[in-house]
Structures are given as structure tokens and as C-alpha cells.
Amino acid sequence: MTEPSDLDPKDWDAFRAQAHELLDACIDRMANARDLPWTPPPEDLGQLYAIQAKGDGEAALAQRLRDQVMPYATGNTHPRFFGWVHGTGLASGVMSEMVAAAMNSNCGGRNHGLIEMERAVIAYCRGVFGFPEAASGVLVTGTSQATVIALAVARRRALGDGSRRSGLGPHRLTAYTGSSTHGCVAKAMELLGMGSNALRRIPQGENGLDMQALRAAIAKDRADGALPFAVIGTAGSVDCGAFDDLNALADLAAAEDLWLHVDGAFGAWLRLADDPWRGLTNGIERADSLACDFHKWMYVPYDCGLALIRDGHTHRATFAGRGSYLDETARGLAAAEYWPCDYGVDLSRGSRALKVWAALETYGAARLGQAISENCRRAGEMGTQIAALPHMALLAPVISNLCVFTADERLTPQQQSALNIRLSEELQLSGAAVFSTVRMGEITALRAAIVNHRTRPEDVTQAVAALQAARAALQRAA
């Protein structure tokens, strides 16, 4: 045995015992997720976490992780957590994250196992989404970053290679999307120098973008000397889970010579679900780029998203370019033709592919797809129960996994909003269920997004009953 270096444990056997015990605590936490809703963190948590940097050692760390860190989670591991669009995580992730930490691979490039694994994940996704062999991809933090990557490639396609050096030049690039598109698209437009004003918002109904308004907006911009370059469709909107008609958008993109980007953050994975939900993704295979997440509807632990690009050549041409210290060699560690850093912003990067690979190999696409279908069934059941309650009303049809409603339609929009917000707070604080809210026209509505493999029919029934009881209590008190 060599002398342990300064930062390694002094006693590996002691570390082994501490780590095993901590692993047991992690598994207990996961096995008991059903009994662990979100609870508000104590007010002095900031003080508790204030860095002392005294070097307390691994035994103290294990204890603090268990007692001071693990209890204060977001709560999205709980089966009645329906807020925002938060994935649950998977037991496979506990194993794969542990191995990733032990390996500590840098997945920017070079010749090692987890680069091949990322390649395998991208190849699998190409197959799922019907992209051609020449398509490329990169795993990123999430859909927000994937959108920046995708629109950077679209911009490069519109302006040519010179734009990497000269920027936008005199061109006024414009893009088109629906009124309820996620904010990450506007943010990408800002970051890429086009500005969010250049993102035209087209009216959007339950059946997607208004195609006539879209054509008119493109024609107007062309007449005004702008350079329309991309149309962004949504597969699963954050407000109500709606899908654009992706085939109609692909036809339009082809006719107008535009790049079709699809935001499928969670909805893209309906590709693995049963019909009718799978059918909502029809046309996704025609996109020029797709952004989606593994940390929402594939339940993979945070964080992991995907940018998938049809034209792998332009993708690489947008990002490749390394210093000479990163040159490939014929043999050895630097001998690898595929360097993920050539396809995105990051040079040094962790091994996100491992947790995706682990999830797919552990559970299989059929079981993951089944869990996704079940989530949609639960949303449908919630919709039916809400609609049957006196004065509660759905504010959008349940299309996929989102249920959006108001707690008392007899009230004014302002009163309804106040009641809905109050109810979401009460239910969160009581630990009964987590609903979040969303603006629907004049009303701040209650919203459930079910992306939780633990949610059973009785969880939906209990959550709706808790809502009804809380409404009754509030209205009695008023």
C-alpha cells in the first residue's frame, strides 16, 4: 500500500464503513419517499451551511449529509408532488451517480469508456426520435442549454461559417414561435445576439400554432428586409401540455427554408408511450433540432438534457475548434474521433450519459414508456375528478399529463386567482400535495404536471380530496 496522499481518507476502512452507512441512509430515503413530502427548511439553514472550511473529515461529513442535508430536499420524490415539471429520480441513479463520482471522468473528449457511452445514448435517441444516421447530439444540463445549442446551429446555417468570426453582421435574424412557448427560447435568442424582440409570438390554441398568422408574420418580416431563420415548435407546453402540429410546421419550414426546432422538454418522451399520447409527437422526426430532458419524463436524476441535431456536420462546424493542447493523436488517450466538446459550449464535462444508460438498461424502454402513459392516465383521472366537483372547473382540456383548473369558477378572476394561490400554499405547507400555479388568461390557475413514476390512482384521489377540504376550510373561515 502506498502512503495515502493528504486529501485521501487516512483510514480507508473507516471511510468504507461511513460510506456504506450513508448509502443505507440514501436507500432508506428513496424507499420511504412516499412518507417524505417537502417541508419548509428551517430559517437558520443558511447559518448551518455557512462554510467554516476547518476540515472536519469524512465521518463528520457523512453525519452532516444525513442529518443536515438530506432532509431539506425539493420534495419531488414524493408521489403527490405535481408542481412545475419535476422528475422523480430513479434507484438506478443512486448506483450510477456513485460510480460516476468514483470514476470522475472528464467527458469533454479523449479515449475512454464514458465517451463511448454518450455516443451510445445519442445513437439510441436518434432511433427513438427517427433522426438519420448523420444526426449528432450532445448531453447538456437541460432543455434551456440544449435550446441555445440548437439555435446556435440554426444561426450558423443561416449565416454561414463566417458568422463565427464576424457575428451577426448586418443581418436581422427573426424566429417564430407560439405564444405559450417556454421562456428558454427567448433567453437563447438574447444570448445568441438576436434579441428576444426578434422572436415573433404567434397566437397558439389547443391545436397548436395558428399557421395562417405564422405565414403572414414571415412574409411581413421578409418584406421588411429581415432574415427569417427558424420556427420553434413545442411538443408539450408548460402551461397545459399542448402540442403543435409538428408535421404542419415541418411542411412550412421546408417551404420557407427555415430551421425547425422542437422544444420537447418533457413531451418528446411521449414517443415511448401508448397511443393516443404517442401520436402527439408525430412529425418530431422531421425536426432539424430537438431539445428535451431526461430529468423530467425519463425520471433520470438531475441534471440531464439533450440537444439532437439532424445535420451533424453543421452542428460540429458550429462548435468545433480547440487549442493545440487538445489536438487528437493517432494512438493513446487523445486518440478519439468523437469529442463531445466539439458539439457544445463546455470543454470539461461530467458523465451525464451514465445515468441515462443506467435508466434505460435497468428499466427498459417499455417500462419507462408505461410509466409515462400511466402519468397521462393519472392526469386524465384528476381532470375527471376536478370537473365533477361542484364549482371547480378545468381551464384547459387534459391533453397529456397536465391538469389546469380553478377551485371556484363562481368567483371573479381576481378572487379565483387569490383562492388558487392560497390553496397551493396550504397544500404545500401541510404536506398533502404540491400543486403549482399558472396564468390562464385572467386567472392564476392551479396546475398539476404529473411526471412522477410513484403517483398512483389513490394519490390523485387523495390530492383532490385535500384540495376540496382546504377549499371548504378557507370558505368557512371567510
Ligand X SMILES: *Cc1c(COP(=O)(O)O)cnc(C)c1O
Residue 30 CB partners (closer than 8 Å, separation 6+): 77, 89, 91, 94
Counting contacts by CB under 6 A, is residue 249 touching ligand X? no
Cβ nearer to ligand X, comparing 92 with 234: 234
Q: For the CB of residue 425, give the shortest distance to ligand X in the complex, in Å.
A: 22
Given the rule CB under 6 A, which of 2-10, 258-266, 388-396, 404-412 is the region that contacts ligand X?
Answer: 258-266
Cβ nearer to ligand X, comparing 159 with 307: 307
Counting contacts by CB under 6 A, is residue 299 touching ligand X? no
Tell me which residue of 244, 142, 136 sits closest to 183, measured CA to CA: 142
The vertex-21 CA angle with 355 and 79, nearest 5°, equals 50
Candidate list 75, 108, 305, 344; residue touching ligand X; CB under 6 A: 305
Cβ nearer to ligand X, comparing 85 with 464: 85
Candidate list 238, 371, 386, 434; residue touching ligand X; CB under 6 A: 238
Tell me which residue of 236, 272, 265 sits closest to 401, measured CA to CA: 236
Q: What is the contact mask toward ligand X in residues 133 to 152, using x (rule: CB under 6 A)?
A: ---------xxx--------
Separation between Cα atoms, residue 294 and residue 300, nearest integer Å = 6
Candidate list 125, 128, 153, 184; residue touching ligand X; CB under 6 A: 184
Cβ nearer to ligand X, comparing 145 with 163: 145
Counting contacts by CB under 6 A, is residue 453 touching ligand X? no
Cβ nearer to ligand X, comparing 269 with 343: 269
Asked whether 446 and 368 are in contact (CB, 8 A), the reply is: no
Q: What is the contact mask toward ligand X in residues 67 to 96, using x (rule: CB under 6 A)?
A: ------------------x-----------
Sign, CA dihedral 32-34-35-37, equals positive
Q: Cα separations (Å) of 341 from 13, 318, 456?
A: 38, 11, 41
Tell me which residue of 12, 320, 27 sits closest to 161, measured CA to CA: 320
Q: For the CB of residue 113, give the shortest distance to ligand X in the complex, in Å.
A: 26
Total length of the chain? 478
Q: Which residue is nearest to ligand X (CB)?
A: 142
Separation between Cα atoms, residue 146 and residue 405, nearest integer Å = 31
Separation between Cα atoms, residue 380 and residue 403, nearest integer Å = 8
Counting contacts by CB under 6 A, is residue 263 touching ligand X? yes
Q: For the CB of residue 242, give the shortest distance to ligand X in the complex, in Å.
A: 10
* Residues found near ligand X in the complex (CB under 6 A): 85, 142-144, 182, 184, 236, 238, 263, 265-266, 293, 305
